Amino acid sequence: MRKVIYWVGGIIVLVAVLGFFTRNYLGMIVISFFIEPRHSFEDQPVPEAPDYFKEEHWAALPDREDYADVTRAPDIIDNQASAGVDVFFVHPTTYVSSESWNQPLDNENANTLTDAWVMRDQASVFNDCCKIYAPRYRQATLHSFQDQSGSGEDALNLAYEDVKSAFKFFIQNYNQGRPFILASHSQGSRHADRLLEEQIVSTGLFPRLIAAYLIGFSVDASNNAPVCERFDQVNCQVSWNASTEDALVKLAQPGDICVNPLSWRADTNLVSASENLGSVTFSSEGGIDRGVADARCSDGSLFVSEVGSDRYTNNMPFGPGNYHMHDYSFFYMNIRENAEKRIANFQGLSRL
């Protein structure tokens, strides 16, 4: 079943790369069968490994101008220069190609999509509270999520090794012992889930983890990190996958973590759109849209019952009712505020 989740989780990238199919879910499924690499993982050398001493192997760094610095309104501030907390952000799938199982780091299409979509629409949510570090990595190509030969799993494992390498470099060269947040989306959350278990929870780094936002992928609690049960809890994790209750495709499974980003509780209470501080989508003109989406957790999914703006209903690659594209966008300002509240509580506890 997780193979299906992995495949579906990757298809989102076709929205940007194959724009004319953005409203045709069946068309995307057909297209996905034409991007299978024509060789096995073992039959072709893997792309050159990243060198994280090189700035070009990072999609975002706090002391460099990049898309993670973007703000949408005058009262939203990029405060990375003075932030005392770091974010390690793992981006979702942006490589759609049959040429290789893993992205060459100089692939312009994937890098442009990572920057202009992911850093801008997702990673930027943390640019008030934190310094943002987002590595490029040899991500698995889209077809890896539906592959049954073993090559896709090999590609995903290689991608994870890069993420792990980047995280170790971040800790040793950038972090300087500061508290940090782990954040991710889609394929990135697959890797961050494993990273949390293997490199953080089981090590001396866990007390410095403010929270993990592992969004847009099927994530349960098997990584051994506590699930956040209140808005300011620290040393814990949140996750969700947004859709309508009747969506044809849901990315979550029963038993997955669902923390409601409007209440920051892992319960089943419906929280109205009036509690939504603001949705942001940079793909169309406009600023912060308030009260766009409500939210309710059920059976591992985050259900949105009604969307109050048509700016969020055009890109629906999973078919009607699936809001994977807007896991961050719908709750942008709530995430932004929540990170600040968790940091404030962490700092208060540290002074005790």
Report whether pLDDT(344) > 60: yes
The β-bridge partners of 214 are 184
Identify the sign of the CA torsion 149, 155, 161, 167: negative
Q: Which one-letter amino acid corresponds to residue 103?
A: Q
Average pLDDT over residues 134-160: 86
Q: What is the pLDDT of residue 319?
A: 80
pLDDT higher than threshold 70 for residue 297 = yes
- Choose the weakest-confidence range: 42-46, 166-170, 234-238, 335-339: 42-46
Which pLDDT score is estimated for 147?
A: 67
Q: How confident is the model at residue 313 (pLDDT cuts 50, 70, 90)?
A: confident
User: In this predicted structure, which of 48-57, 150-159, 206-215 has the lowest mean pLDDT?
Assistant: 150-159
Which residue has better confidence, 350 or 348? 348
The string of pLDDT tens digits covering residues 85-94 is 999 999 999 9
Average predicted confidence (pLDDT) for the chain: 88
Predicted confidence (pLDDT) at residue 8 exceeds the cutoff of 80: no
Q: What is the pTM assigned to this prediction?
A: 0.90
